[in-house]
Structure 1
């Protein structure tokens, strides 16, 4: 090195600083690049495919970059020391070291890393060509360094095995939220609703048992009467006891009988379908898959004792994804009437999740599914007319009670 002229030493030093900037920016860009976008680019771009392959072996990738960066910086320090002695004497070595540190921090660390973090694809994809070559050249040295590092970490009780961590639902939510500029708001909301299907259980959106229409199979007269007046598409059939559900009738099948002129009680009984039972606690994501595999559209939700607690239909699950349909939305609005003073008259049988959605509330759904259940859970007794209670920031006044059942309440949001 001493035999080289000063201009050559300066040129070599500048080259080493540029090489240090290259390794620093490559390391940052490789860590900052979007893996999902990289997978898409890898289908058509050779550099992207190479980058994806390099990222699959992080040990050798990081080891090669660090080895190259440290070698370059050490050589740069040596060149700077020789230059300082040649130009200003031995007393200038410390000043030369400080100056080189400043130059490396600005031009080989901070600036290139900031640029790489903001433009990872522009840096990582072309840099993969050079890094791939270096990995092949330095592989034996990197392997030795990696083994020594693993031995040291193992002695300290640190695990070095790669763990394939799958993305969590919360992380997936963040990905969808970050995609606002490229995904329409309504589609983004649907994607978030799909992610949340795993959290919502069938009992959260089921039709309660007391709202289901059923008839005794042993009373043909009652059955025919119900068929004339029922406004629902399905009718539950039970044997002797309303808790003993044995089947269900679909009104579409009854209409077909009328169309063919074959309507009779005997023919109606042959159309009774076997009920499909769904255990409590089943997530909507799993239940939607079960509906598909079982070719069903309705299931009866049962508790651990086998008692029917309600019904879940595939349309309700689809509404959780795409939002409420017009007919159901009107029914919910009928249950909630806004008052001039800002309060709301509410039918307490309304589902808490629907109430939260419409009024922008945050009432808990962990203990009760309806507002009535939440009130009873809080009071631990059947309330009287003059009872008022506060849940979170909501004041609830009991307005009307009939036959020991809450019929109407008033909600007021508190500041």
Structure 2
């Protein structure tokens, strides 16, 4: 280097600093790029994204290549800076060159390029791939040798070099991604996506219509009673049973009833009514909604009876009930919806029927009542009190005062939910 002029050495040093900045920024950019966005761009044919994906398939080789290049450049820059320092300041120039070069590399080759790459990873990673991919092929023997040594060293330390984590997300991580999407995903779509993720946490007994509210007809009743119930059918399907609802026969469709009445307008016989029923589809009460939705599709069913471990009928679930958990209520007249079981008063309190579903109440009134036990408000209050109250009383749930208004037939019929209790602010002494 003695033949080189100072100007040539300064230019060489500047070029080496820039190359060092390239390697530092490339490393951060490559490692910070969004893998899911990169995968999407690769599938659409984006050439730069394909090159980056190729390099990231073996991150050990990519890191080895970048570090080899970066260290070679930094060592060369240190040598050039030492020569410049000695020419300008003699023996003291070594110390001066070390301090100055450290600051230059720290500012211009490390912090600045890595910060830019972390903020704009795609803008750094995509152009860098033009250079890094051919470099990997040129320096492959050296990179492979370095990787061989480091991988075996990691095995000695008990670390599997091939045990890199896959780009997969758990349900909770995916929930965070949906929340962080912001304006990229409309709020309504975000709610639907989050509802889909919640399906596996909710079972059919959380959304079922209770057995006492199932639209059902006892075939053993007088025909006049049956005819009146058929005329007042509020849905297209009605459950037919003998004596007790646990002895269910099947579902009767309104269209089949109409055909029977048309053929025999005077009095359709009960056997014809029984023959017209459709086979019952039974559902275990602990089935998650995500599983039941698939089962409905596989079995070509739209409605089923929920049974417990003893085979007793607990309620009824339809395909529409599950879909409403995803997209919201289709109508305002579905049985079991919270809006039908509550009344808002001008004073801010809410009168609620005891049969109201807790999950629906939580969604409707933004409450946080526990749902891991009883499914109705009556069941929750009975569990908390430990008995069925004889007279009206008031208890506190989730910082809400709940006043029991009516109790009859050993069931809490209605309650009043008062506005959330506010903690009194402490008065500061003067």
* Bin of the TM-score, shorter chain as denominator length: over 0.9
Could you tell me which residue of structure 2 aligns to residue 267 of structure 1?
272
Larger CA deviation: 326-335 vs 192-201: 326-335
2:401 aligns to what SS in structure 1? strand
Could you tell me which residue of structure 2 aligns to residue 246 of structure 1?
249
Runs of 4+ off more than 6 Å: 260-263
Could you tell me which residue of structure 2 aligns to residue 144 of structure 1?
145
Aligned residue among 231, 237, 246 for 2:234: 231
Aligned residue among 332, 340, 351 for 2:338: 332
2:201 aligns to what SS in structure 1? coil
Matches within 5 A, 1:111-150: 111-150=112-151
Q: CA deviation at 1:240?
A: 4.1
Q: Is the 8 A contact 2:333 2:340 kept in 1?
A: no
Give, in whole Å, the separation in 1 of the partners of 2:109 and 2:262: 83
Matches within 5 A, 1:195-210: 195-210=197-212
Pair 1:316–1:392, CA change in 2 (3 A): same
Q: Is the 8 A contact 1:41 1:48 kept in 2?
A: yes
Mark the runs of 5 or more structure 1 residues left unpaired by the alignment.
none
Give, in whole Å, the separation in 2 of the partners of 1:252 and 1:166: 49
Could you tell me which residue of structure 2 aligns to residue 318 of structure 1?
323
Could you tell me which residue of structure 2 aligns to residue 367 of structure 1?
373
Query: Residue by residue, what CA displacement relative to the aligned partner does 1:345-386 show, whole Å, maximum 9, x if unpaired?
Result: 111211111111111111121112211121122222212323
1:385 aligns to what SS in structure 2? coil
Give, in whole Å, the separation in 2 of the partners of 1:181 and 1:228: 50
TM-score computed with the length of structure 1 as normaliser? 0.93
Give, in whole Å, the separation in 2 of the partners of 1:145 and 1:94: 32
Could you tell me which residue of structure 1 aligns to residue 390 of structure 2?
384
1:164 aligns to what SS in structure 2? coil
1:181 aligns to what SS in structure 2? helix
Larger CA deviation: 304-313 vs 251-260: 251-260
Could you tell me which residue of structure 2 aligns to residue 414 of structure 1?
421
Q: Is the 8 A contact 2:338 2:357 kept in 1?
A: no
Q: CA deviation at 1:33?
A: 1.5
Query: Residue by residue, what CA displacement relative to the aligned partner does 1:2-46 show, whole Å, maximum 9, x if unpaired?
Result: 443222221221111111111111111112222222223222321
Could you tell me which residue of structure 1 aligns to residue 95 of structure 2?
94
Mark the runs of 5 or more structure 2 residues left unpaired by the alignment.
423-430
Pair 1:223–1:3, CA change in 2 (3 A): farther
1:350 aligns to what SS in structure 2? coil
Could you tell me which residue of structure 1 aligns to residue 304 of structure 2?
299
Q: Is the 8 A contact 1:384 1:398 kept in 2?
A: no
Pair 1:89–1:220, CA change in 2 (3 A): farther
Could you tell me which residue of structure 1 aligns to residue 426 of structure 2?
none
Pair 1:44–1:256, CA change in 2 (3 A): farther
Pair 1:259–1:12, CA change in 2 (3 A): farther
Give, in whole Å, the separation in 2 of the partners of 1:166 and 1:301: 35
Give, in whole Å, the separation in 2 of the partners of 1:328 and 1:75: 78
Matching of residue 286 in structure 1 with residue 328 in structure 2? no
Matching of residue 74 in structure 1 with residue 75 in structure 2? yes
Could you tell me which residue of structure 2 aligns to residue 60 of structure 1?
61
**Cα RMSD after superposing both structures:** 2.2
Give, in whole Å, the separation in 1 of the partners of 2:318 and 2:377: 22
Aligned residues: 415
